[in-house]
Chain A
Amino acid sequence: MKRLAAIILSLFLASVAFAAPPQDWIRTGTGLGVEKIRLAVPDFKPAANDPESKKLATTFSTTLWNDLQAAGIFDMVSASFYPLSAPGTPQDVKLSEWEAPPPNANMLAFGNAGVQGGSLTVQGWLFDVKNAQSPQVLGKQYHEQASEDNARLIAHRFADEIIFRLGGGIQGIAESKIYFVSSRGGSKEIWQMDYDGANQKQLTHLGTIALSPHVSPDGSRIAYAGISNTEWQILMYSLELNRPVNFTRFAGTNLSPAWSSDGKSLAFSSSRSGDSEIYVVDISGGEVRRLTNTKGPDVSPSWNPKTNAQIAWVSGRTGLPQIYTMASDGTNVVRMTEQGYAVSPSWSPNGQFLAFAWVRHYGPGEPGASDIYVMDVASKQWVQLTHDGGRNDFPSWSPDGRHIVFQSNRTGKTQIWSMLADGSQARQLTTAGENSQPNWSFK
């Protein structure tokens, strides 16, 4: 009996070891069995036949599709199932064509886009396919100056309307921004892009090294760390003035600024005492408060944005870096991770979770992949989100708390990726040069 069990066990282990490729893993979670709304989004019809209308209608349609797909709450009906003629106005819609298989849609978003006299007009509708009596859920009309950027902007707004209406009141994120570090121009500088990777543009021209961008809650400025006059300082860039603005200089090496969600305080790491520690300073100037007082590197603070009463950070006080939390006056220190190499905490908007990067088994001879994890702060239970190898680091939450942006070198070079907060739907947002340390705007 014992021998038989041993044979079966070894066969079982062998089948696990050989049958399963290393990236194979079992997804668990809540809501996986919940049926998503089947949404059909045929391309918006150009309202006129000129090339400009056609081009902007295409840009609009592509952006709208990507936004709705990225939201993660829809089962997007494949375009190959659509009836041959796409509706441009409510009169064109034959609900029965969309309700029947193969589209089998619950909802239909459609409309038209056209340019007239240099201005872009988009009309969009959302129809409940199963409600033949009064199908209209949403009807919107947008006017903007005709440009590719505005076609994308209108698509983002319409997508957010649909997501808000069908997602039980979730605020869309299609107009949010991501700030990041790029070395594509030579030195590391701060860049920004739309949440979907469009519109990438350089902000700072420091010429030395600029790192760790964190945008203020109102979106008016970015705090970052940069070498200025041979010292690491917390620097500020105004997004309203489009230029650097002054901020208090501190002694020592100053790194990793983080805004409280009320915009009043900045937490950062400083070595002014001769050892890196976490400090908090009022944005308006005034007292600098020291929060930590233990030998070893202390860096990468992140506020609990729900309450601003707690800060998570990274400390090397026991050797390898681990995640800790404390009250925002420095009391009540709690160690959150017990092993490996844990860095880059980011507190979720609802205050419940910490996303962070973790090499769970760290050291010589260990595989050493750094993956993104999410931990429930109250129970310290964690879930691993990335399973695709490489070094994944610097997670940052979207304003709706449903997405995470992070950096990964899984394809060779370090690039910015986003995914749903359950680890699904990973997509690469940058390709030029090397890009790192993404930070998602507060709204």
Chain B
Amino acid sequence: MGGTKLKLQRIQWFQVVLALAVVIAVAGCAKKKVTPPTPVPPPPPPAPTAMLAANPNTIVAGQASTLTWTTDFASSITIDGIGKVDPIGSMKVTPNESTTYHLVAKNDTATKEATARITVTPAASAPPPTSSSTGDESNARLFSQNVKDVFFELDSYEISPQYEAVIQANGRFLQQHSAMSFVIEGHCDERGSIEYNLALGENRAQATKQALTQAGVSATRIRTISYGKEKPFCTESTDACWQQNRRAHFAYSK
């Protein structure tokens, strides 16, 4: 009894599938356009691809970093400040200040750009915490050497356990330098919506501020701003780049 019913159902189901297949095939056919057999000009070259990376991407002034790039299908490849380069190559650079290298790969079809940033920290050894009255510029340098950014998971504004230690270290430094005030900038990667990312970046900045005040830093020294995805640190559409952009960045103000 159950067997026949099952079989019957199977046949009906089979008919439905067949009917669907016919319907879809017909719908598909109706959409097809007949192209006249005119001679086709040779297809334009495919759009170029380009990748540019710096290793390491943070150096102390005087040290060297290596730029590595890979491009495909490009007829002209230039890096700003360096000039024309081979399609694939690498080069040692020793920038004196933080620099964003900008590669442009072109052919007749399109232009593809790639960037890599090398952050240069000054070579001067950190003065002891007691001599913090050496002017604003050295304070800014001291701040950027010691206060580290916090990075976030995708669509999250929670500070993950691995960055608790960063917050604690930042907190110790800022307690020792109690005259410094600063901005926490909330940043997001390029995916998702402009407005939502601004709100998310705000929550990242606020969560970082809250963690820092719990670590003993007075809230009156901290200003926050969200840049959402408006001011990315890295402009490639790669996981590594997106990770770089999901951050709370600390900027010295005075």
Q: Is the CB of B25 within 8 A of A15?
A: yes
Instruction: Please provide the chain A residues from 277 to 323 with a CB less than 8 Å away from any CB of chain B in the complex.
Output: 296-300, 314, 316, 319-321
Q: A253-B202, A274-B210 are in contact. Are A437 and B10 (CB under 8 A)?
A: no
B51 at the interface (CB under 8 A from A): no
Instruction: Tally A-B pairs: CB < 8 A.
Output: 118
Q: How far is the CA of A256 from the CA of B194 in the complex (A)?
A: 10
- Name which residue of chain B comes closest to A208, CB basis: B230
A436 / chain B contacts, CB cutoff of 8 Å: 194
Q: Is the CB of A275 within 8 A of B196?
A: no
B226 / chain A contacts, CB cutoff of 8 Å: 232, 253
Q: A1-B7, A1-B10, A24-B28 are in contact. Are A297 and B21 (CB under 8 A)?
A: no
Q: A8-B17, A343-B192 are in contact. Are A19 and B198 (CB under 8 A)?
A: no
B27 at the interface (CB under 8 A from A): yes
Q: How far is the CA of A316 from the CA of B226 in the complex (A)?
A: 16
The distance from the CB of B214 to the nearest CB of chain A, in whole angstroms, is: 13
Q: Is the CB of B225 within 8 A of A300?
A: no
Q: How far is the CA of A225 from the CA of B195 in the complex (A)?
A: 10
Interface of B is mostly: helix
- Name which residue of chain A comes closest to B155, CB basis: A320
Chain B CB within 10 Å, residue with most, of A225, A253, A255: A253
Q: Is the CB of A316 within 8 A of B199?
A: yes
Q: Is the CB of A275 within 8 A of B203?
A: yes
B170 at the interface (CB under 8 A from A): no
B18 at the interface (CB under 8 A from A): yes
The distance from the CB of A214 to the nearest CB of chain B, in whole angstroms, is: 11
Q: Which of B10, B193, B199 contacts A276 (CB 8 A)?
A: B199
A230 at the interface (CB under 8 A from B): yes
- Name which residue of chain B comes closest to A4, CB basis: B14
Q: Is the CB of A276 within 8 A of B195?
A: no
How many residues on B have C-beta within 8 angstroms of the other chain's C-beta atoms?
35
Q: Is the CB of B203 within 8 A of A297?
A: yes
B24 at the interface (CB under 8 A from A): yes
Q: A19-B25, A253-B225, A320-B155 are in contact. Are A209 and B199 (CB under 8 A)?
A: no
Q: How far is the CA of A320 from the CA of B25 in the complex (A)?
A: 38
- Name which residue of chain B comes closest to A296, CB basis: B203
Q: How far is the CA of A34 from the CA of B168 in the complex (A)?
A: 68
Q: Is the CB of B28 within 8 A of A297?
A: no
Q: How far is the CA of A275 from the CA of B17 in the complex (A)?
A: 52
The distance from the CB of A415 to the nearest CB of chain B, in whole angstroms, is: 15
Instruction: Please provide the chain A residues from 2 to 27 with a CB less than 8 Å away from any CB of chain B in the complex.
Output: 2, 5, 8-9, 11-12, 15-16, 19-20, 24, 26
The distance from the CB of A180 to the nearest CB of chain B, in whole angstroms, is: 12
A344 at the interface (CB under 8 A from B): yes
Q: Is the CB of B196 within 8 A of A9?
A: no
Q: A230-B223, A232-B225, A253-B202 are in contact. Are A437 and B194 (CB under 8 A)?
A: yes
B191 at the interface (CB under 8 A from A): yes
Q: A2-B10, A20-B28, A230-B225 are in contact. Are A12 and B17 (CB under 8 A)?
A: yes
B5 at the interface (CB under 8 A from A): no
Could you give, for residues 179-207 of chain B, a 1 whenever the CB lies within 8 Å of some chain A CB and a 0 otherwise?
00001000000011111101110110010
Q: How far is the CA of A291 from the CA of B148 in the complex (A)?
A: 36
A24 / chain B contacts, CB cutoff of 8 Å: 28, 31
B11 / chain A contacts, CB cutoff of 8 Å: 1
Q: Is the CB of A231 within 8 A of B225?
A: yes
The distance from the CB of A437 to the nearest CB of chain B, in whole angstroms, is: 7
B157 / chain A contacts, CB cutoff of 8 Å: 296-297
Chain A CB within 10 Å, residue with most, of B157, B192, B196, B210: B196
- Name which residue of chain B comes closest to A321, CB basis: B196
Q: Is the CB of B196 within 8 A of A343?
A: yes
A300 / chain B contacts, CB cutoff of 8 Å: 193, 195-196
B93 at the interface (CB under 8 A from A): no
The distance from the CB of A153 to the nearest CB of chain B, in whole angstroms, is: 32
What are 11 A-B contacts with C-beta separation under 8 Å?
A: A1-B11, A15-B24, A225-B198, A232-B198, A232-B226, A269-B199, A274-B210, A275-B206, A300-B196, A394-B194, A437-B195
Chain A residues engaging chain B, CB cutoff 8 angstroms: 1-2, 5, 8-9, 11-12, 15-16, 19-20, 24, 26, 188, 209, 211-212, 225, 227, 230-232, 253, 255-256, 269, 271, 274-276, 296-300, 314, 316, 319-321, 341, 343-344, 357, 368, 370, 393-394, 436-437
Chain A to chain B: the 5 pairs with minimum beta-carbon distance, closest first? A297-B199, A299-B199, A343-B193, A12-B21, A276-B199
